[in-house]
Amino acid sequence: MDLKIAGRVVEILEEQSGEGRNGPWRKQDFILETPGEYPSKVCITQWGDDIEKFGVAEGEELTAHIDIKSREYQGRWYTDVKAWRVERPSGGGQGTGPGRDPLGPPPEEFPSAEDEDLPF
């Protein structure tokens, strides 16, 4: 399944990093506002080298190809929206990743809940 969301980047949050069982990790979230009569904001995460590869900038219009993953922690559910590709409307200089395995990124690319310093 190919999920996409298009909109304007309204904010780029501070990069976070840490050390997990699989080594060091980095992530950075950005907020994408969808167009339309009732716009909504979605927090999207980019991981590792994708931060530089995508080159997301505040104020730009883009389409993010995403994976949605939920996990349970102590009876509560948490959902992540992870970008694996970013496209610009012009089609040139897209800052997109290479082809993608439809089953998702390799497990070592994304830390598990136990690898993060978060309670979930």
Question: Could you tell me the CATH number of the domain that includes residue 49?
Answer: 2.40.50.140
Residue 117 lies in a domain: no
Which of residues 104 and 118 earns the better pLDDT score? 118
Structure-block tokens of residue 22: 């699989």
Which residue(s) pair with 63 in the sheet?
6, 87
Instruction: State the virtual CA torsion across 102, 68, 86, 36 in degrees, nearest 10.
Output: 130
Provide the pLDDT for residue 94.
44
Provide the pLDDT for residue 101.
41
- Residue 92 is part of which domain span? 3-109
Residue 12 lies in a domain: yes
Residue 116 lies in a domain: no
* Residue 54 reports pLDDT greater than 70: yes
pTM over 0.75: no
Residue 27 lies in a domain: yes
* Contact assessment for residue 11 and residue 42, using Cβ atoms and an 8 Å cutoff: no
Residue 10 lies in a domain: yes
Residue 75 lies in a domain: yes
Count of domains observed in the chain: 1
Residue 119 lies in a domain: no
